[in-house]
Amino acid sequence: MTMMTRRRILQYGVGAGAALALPWAVRLGRAAPAKGPKLTKYLEPVPLPGAGIVVASPAGMNQYAFTQTEIARQLHPELPPTPVWAYDDGSGLSGQAGSFGMAVVAQSGIPIEASFTHNLPTTYPDWLPVDTRETPLGKQVRLMTHLHGGFVAADSDGNPAVTPNGFGPGETQTVYYTNQKPQMPASLLWFHDHGLGATRLNVVAGLAAAYILRDEFDTGAEPNPIGIPGGPYEIPLVVQDRQFNPDGTLLYPASDIPGAVWIGEYFGDVMLVNGKVWPFLEVEPRLYRFRILNGCNARILNLDIGGARMWQIGAEGGLWDKPVPVAQLVLAPAERADVLVDFSRLAGAMLPVKNLKPPKPVSTPAPPLTQVMQIRVGKTVSQPGPSSIPETLPGRAADLPPGEVAMTRYITLNEIAVDTVNWVLLLNGVDFEEPPRETPRVGTVENWVYVNLTADTHPMHTHLVTMQVVGRTPFDADAYQAAYGGTNGVPGGIDPTPFATGPMLPPDPTERGFKDTVKSDSGYFTTVRAKYDLPAGVTTPQTYVYHCHILEHEDNDMMRPFTVMA
């Protein structure tokens, strides 16, 4: 494994201080460094659904019609207005307060149709540095919306293997989201842009939104059959790190490697929650439900809620069968945590929500960014809500039996030519454009083994399916690479078991349920298990993608197609 060089730290776009921020500002032709880290903390309330986040209005029965459009919002009182790319439900977005501002609420079991019409500029603005080696049509803004966690046909997936050129100005993407049970239970999903080679830029600009599925148990109201908080006591929290230019535009660094624009990972020096910089949240001294999404491009979070007791009740694949006590939440990009948080003994407290260094085996080059948000606990309760944590939940633990596994696939994660103009991350040593090699038979169960040969953790996301984490096995990556590696890393398909250096570690307690994004840690091979069903009425073959959800990695070129076959 290569050690991270100082050069690489710089290249990764740190926001650790003015000394490091200045070179980018110069490179972008701006005179002064951004003052992001100096912005006064906790001045504004966190936007919430109906109060800064727009709950999407349907255009018809179970139909939504969005345009992607540019708005300007002040993300902090000491910042000028920031141009933001947003999903407009037709409301004009006067109800959107920050850079994250839309939520669809739908019912599990009831499909919806949605359309997305590109009403953004034709070419990228200066504040979004495009690497035209990665994009299909140069600096043209090509969009494609992906429902992350959706169990849908390939042509509704927002899928760069099916539609590599995406959608251009004035064009409309129309999709059908099945919301089919049991693959799409009550859960927090999100939709975001997935444009080929430009996902990192389109998402930083703001193209991400919440998608909340309800059912007869998880009604969102209080009381509900589960006995968990609802109504104003259920709070979505989307955490994203960002940098700003002095003029208020988002700062996304360009590479300083001659011939390259793409950077290895984007890390902000400012934390946003629900699209506002370092906000505060007022709560009552009682039980809450927080639904947390790591919406960062590359930062792996380790969230500390400031001393309140916490139980996790679900993750990407919906509710579990029972609550699990948790102290901190280690969430890689795109991972979600559904948690109950007890403020009942904390009346009058001011709680800092902090992002701590993720514990091993997580490995990340991110510079520290500790402050996230402040929670202000009031002294009175207006509605008592549930008085205890439920003993059981109407969800499920991931329990696909090993005996059903029809195929095991070995997928390598390689980082090639670090710090050079040819720097790339590859799965199985091949580019995205090569034809699919993973071809699960519809209805069968497969183990996929992610063999990490890099120095960092990669959150691996598979479209269409949710996964059971089977375990992580430590192994001698150097010896495996020495035995099988070539100029593009190690090809896929080679079992690393002979190189194991210890027994498989079981899944973390927070990996109890099905997940759509799983951390593949450095020095381990990580085994996940999934059933490759297709939605009702959808026929083989159907092609999707799987990729690292560090958006810089996904864009260059840590993404591959897979095809569900007959």
From the list 2-10, 67-75, 389-397, 541-549, the region that binds Cu ion by CB under 5 A is: 541-549
Q: Are 415 and 547 in contact (CB under 8 A)?
A: no
Question: What are the Cα distances from residue 451, in Å, to 312, 339, 501, 518, 554?
Answer: 28, 31, 14, 13, 17
Phi-psi region of 17 (alpha: psi -120 to 50; beta: other; left: phi over 0): left
Count of residues near Cu ion by CB under 5 A: 4
Half-sphere exposure of 365 (CA within 13 A, CB side): 23
Write out the E strands in 455-513.
458-462, 468-474
Say which residue the tokens 């007959």 belong to. Answer: 566
**Nearest CB to Cu ion, comparing residues 453 and 548:** 548
**Nearest CB to Cu ion, comparing residues 200 and 458:** 458
Neighbouring CB atoms inside 10 A of 542's CB total 22
- Please identify which residue in 310, 465, 548, 551 interacts with Cu ion, judged by CB under 5 A: 548
Distance in angstroms (rounded) separating the CA atoms of residues 522 and 477? 9
Distance in angstroms (rounded) separating the CA atoms of residues 456 and 428? 17
**Nearest CB to Cu ion, comparing residues 354 and 458:** 458
Q: Which of 405, 346, 332 is nearest to 551 (CA)?
A: 332
In angstroms and rounded to an integer, the radius of gyration of the C-alpha atoms of the chain is 22
Q: Are 542 and 565 in contact (CB under 8 A)?
A: no
**Nearest CB to Cu ion, comparing residues 267 and 288:** 267
Q: Is residue 550 near Cu ion by the rule CB under 5 A? A: yes
Q: Are 130 and 198 in contact (CB under 8 A)?
A: yes
Distance in angstroms (rounded) separating the CA atoms of residues 71 and 101? 11
Q: Is residue 286 near Cu ion by the rule CB under 5 A? A: no
Q: Which of 500, 224, 267 is nearest to 364 (CA)?
A: 267
**In angstroms, what is the minimal distance from the CB of 480 to Cu ion?**
19
Q: Is residue 426 near Cu ion by the rule CB under 5 A? A: no
**Nearest CB to Cu ion, comparing residues 234 and 516:** 516
Residue whose Cβ sits closest to Cu ion: 548
**Nearest CB to Cu ion, comparing residues 275 and 333:** 333
**In angstroms, what is the minimal distance from the CB of 413 to Cu ion?**
7
**In angstroms, what is the minimal distance from the CB of 298 to Cu ion?**
8
**Nearest CB to Cu ion, comparing residues 11 and 224:** 11
From the list 173-181, 226-234, 376-384, 544-552, the region that binds Cu ion by CB under 5 A is: 544-552
Sketch the per residue contact string, 437 through 466, with Cu ion: x for CB under 5 A, - otherwise.
---------------------x--------
**Nearest CB to Cu ion, comparing residues 89 and 241:** 241
**Nearest CB to Cu ion, comparing residues 112 and 548:** 548
Segment 89 to 148, residues that bind Cu ion, using CB under 5 A: none
Sketch the per residue contact string, 500 through 539, with Cu ion: x for CB under 5 A, - otherwise.
----------------------------------------
**Nearest CB to Cu ion, comparing residues 142 and 553:** 553
Q: Which of 198, 204, 209 is nearest to 148 (CA)?
A: 209
- Please identify which residue in 553, 557, 560, 562 interacts with Cu ion, judged by CB under 5 A: 553
Residue 367 burial class via C-beta count within 10 angstroms: exposed 0-12, middle 13-18, buried 19 and up: middle
**In angstroms, what is the minimal distance from the CB of 283 to Cu ion?**
35
Question: What are the Cα distances from residue 333, in Å, to 161, 200, 252, 559?
Answer: 22, 12, 17, 15
CA dihedral over 152, 67, 74, 246, signed as positive or negative = positive
From the list 6-14, 115-123, 306-314, 547-555, the region that binds Cu ion by CB under 5 A is: 547-555
Residues that bind Cu ion (CB under 5 A): 458, 548, 550, 553
